[in-house]
Amino acid sequence: MRPTLILLCSMLLLGSCKKEADSAAPLVTQTVFDAQILGRGWLESWEEEQPGSGIKVFRPDTYAFPASWPRTGLRFDANGVFTGRGPGPTDGITVYPGLWFTEDNSTFRITPSGESTSYGLQIISLEKDVLKLRRIE
């Protein structure tokens, strides 16, 4: 009887614990966005990504990356100006302009210039000089 009671109490206690992810606090406040993301170039650091996770890791364009082919990147600027970049057809960099707006406190909607379809970028985490994003449709 006693082990069953202890197990039941443990399950009730664990079930009532609040996870950090359940917090209603914004993932990225406007102040954090303005100070750490807005106006900075971010380049993909595929060396740090977990295959199959769907999460892309970005570092500032000033980061000392190892030598590689041109990297995919992005930049959020004021007034909703978005700039994507990636390898082009001649091994150079191609720039993809567009617009961005905030959907919620962790998701941005990107509309590439000249296109009617858009996609979302969800911020998974933002730590000093490491931005993790997931693309959502």
**In order of start, what are the domains of the chain with their CATH numbers?**
24-136 (2.40.128)
| In the block, residue with structure tokens 């091994």 | 91
pLDDT tens-digit series, residues 92-107: 889 999 999 998 888 9
Q: Which pLDDT score, from 0 to 100, does residue 27 have?
A: 65
Computed on alpha carbons and rounded to an integer, the radius of gyration of the chain in Å comes to 20
Asked if the model's pLDDT at residue 12 lies above 70, the reply is no
Residue range 60-92, pLDDT digits in tens: 999 999 988 889 999 999 999 999 998 888 878
Does residue 26 have a pLDDT over 70? Answer: no
- Residue 6: pLDDT above 70? no
The answer to whether residue 15 scores a pLDDT higher than 90 is no
| pTM given for the model | 0.76
CA 1 vs CA 5, 7, 34: distances in Å: 6, 10, 58
